[in-house]
């Protein structure tokens, strides 16, 4: 395994801000690249003749945000637990956490694919868009939903990389995803004229490529033979271990769900006011995403450093990074 502790952790670190920004800066850049792709998608579809296309991408994109942000605990929970194992220098525990999180991610992705019809119908009923917007958004969703395994694998690997403070690698993966998605969207929508289907296929292709890169990075850092050895251990598959991992993430899931319901209310009310209002709010929401996703980079640094301090089980380290 290639995981090592990222520098010394002391209660009197002479350069704590530098340490924070070494983690936070690449994370901020990675996070901001996501909303920038939303800006590109908005621009590409905004050039189509009917504003219903822009309104439909608002509905379709939100549905995927709702589904996949609901599983955001895979990133956050993995980061915290990995940071603790990383701080303790327990590479075997770190490997088991990551592997169980990846398996959970694939399990959730499988559930999304199997239950896609009731999930999509329920969310469309919640948002209640106009008929044309709903038709266009459904065409988008039925293609993009097949990215579920790729998305949840990538999210889990990002959580692992943040936990071991390798956010530059996380930035590489996110840039591969977001820049590829933007380029493909412009090409398929504006050059080839594929419309909503083009935007959906662009996202699907970019997610698959980014997930392949993420899994490759994880295999190199953790070691393929070590992962296989852990998977062959009968004790690894005890349901109690997976249940404990899920219990850690329960409150994060509830917090995310309430946040998403607030956004759902915004989109529902916008849809009720017509395509023009909905498409306008799709443009405006990108500015909110830029700021909120950027600030998340600071939170990533806090998760990694506090988790590392907890893993070392020395109170003054924990107090230093929570001050």
- The pLDDT score that the predictor gives to residue 7 is 47
In the block, residue with structure tokens 């380290």:
317
- Name, in order, each residue with C-beta under 8 angstroms of 71's C-beta and a sequence gap of 6 or more: 105, 108, 152, 155
Q: Which of 306, 279, 292 is nearest to 72 (CA)?
A: 292
| Structure token pair of residue 192 | 């080839």
Q: List the pLDDT tens digit at each of the 323 positions of the chain.
A: 444 444 444 445 556 678 788 888 888 887 776 666 666 776 777 777 777 787 787 788 788 777 877 787 888 888 888 988 888 888 888 999 999 999 999 999 999 999 999 999 988 888 888 888 888 889 988 998 999 999 999 999 999 999 998 989 988 998 888 889 888 988 998 888 888 889 889 989 999 999 999 999 999 998 888 888 888 888 788 887 788 777 777 777 787 788 778 877 887 888 778 777 777 777 777 777 777 777 777 777 877 887 787 777 766 555 555 55
Q: How far apart are CA 195 and CA 122, in angstroms?
A: 25
Angle between helices 148-163 and 51-69 (to 10 degrees): 60
Residues in the chain: 323
First to last CA, the chain: 33
Q: Which of 219, 221, 117, 127 is nearest to 166 (CA)?
A: 221
| Structure token pair of residue 21 | 């920004």
- The pLDDT score that the predictor gives to residue 11 is 46
Q: How far apart are CA 194 and CA 201, in angstroms?
A: 9
**Alpha helices (H) in 145-194, listed in sequence order:** 148-163, 167-185
Q: Tell me the DSSP string of 91-148.
A: HHHHHHHHHHHHHHHHHHHHHHHHTHHHHHHHHHHHH---HHHHHHHHHHHHHHGGGH
The pTM assigned to this predicted structure is 0.82
Q: How far apart are CA 234 and CA 224, in angstroms?
A: 18
DSSP class of residue 237 equals G
Q: How far apart are CA 70 and CA 151, in angstroms?
A: 12
Beta strands in 176-305 (DSSP E): none
DSSP class of residue 291 equals H
Q: Which of 144, 125, 259 is nearest to 198 (CA)?
A: 144
Helix and strand numbers, DSSP H then E, in the chain: 13, 0
């Amino acid at each position: 395994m290639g995981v090592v502790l990222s520098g010394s952790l002391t209660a009197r670190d002479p350069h704590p801000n530098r340490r924070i920004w070494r983690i936070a800066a690449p994370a901020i850049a990675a996070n901001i690249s996501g909303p920038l792709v939303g800006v590109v998608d908005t621009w590409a579809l905004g050039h189509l003749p009917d504003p219903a296309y822009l309104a439909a991408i608002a509905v379709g994109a939100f549905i995927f945000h709702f589904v996949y942000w609901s599983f955001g605990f895979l990133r956050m929970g993995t980061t915290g637990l990995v940071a603790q194992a990383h701080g303790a220098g327990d590479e075997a525990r770190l490997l088991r956490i990551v592997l169980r999180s990846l398996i959970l991610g694939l399990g959730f992705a499988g559930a999304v694919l199997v239950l896609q019809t009731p999930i999509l119908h329920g969310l469309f009923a919640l948002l209640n868009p106009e008929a044309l917007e709903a038709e266009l958004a459904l065409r988008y969703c039925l293609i993009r939903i097949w990215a579920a395994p790729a998305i949840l694998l990538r999210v889990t690997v990002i959580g692992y990389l943040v936990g071991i403070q390798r956010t530059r690698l996380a930035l590489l993966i996110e840039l591969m995803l977001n820049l590829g998605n933007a380029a493909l969207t412009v090409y398929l929508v504006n050059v080839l004229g594929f419309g909503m289907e083009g935007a959906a296929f662009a996202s699907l292709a970019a997610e698959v490529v980014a997930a392949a890169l993420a899994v490759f990075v994880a295999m190199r850092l953790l070691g393929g033979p070590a992962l296989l050895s852990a998977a062959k251990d009968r004790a690894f598959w005890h349901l109690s271990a997976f249940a404990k991992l899920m219990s850690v993430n329960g409150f994060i899931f509830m917090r995310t769900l309430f946040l998403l319901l607030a956004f759902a209310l915004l989109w529902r009310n916008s849809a009720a006011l017509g395509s023009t209002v909905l498409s306008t709010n799709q443009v405006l929401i990108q500015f909110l995403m830029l700021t909120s996703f950027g600030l998340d980079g600071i939170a990533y640094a806090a998760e990694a450093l506090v988790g590392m301090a907890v893993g070392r089980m020395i109170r003054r380290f924990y107090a230093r990074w929570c001050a």
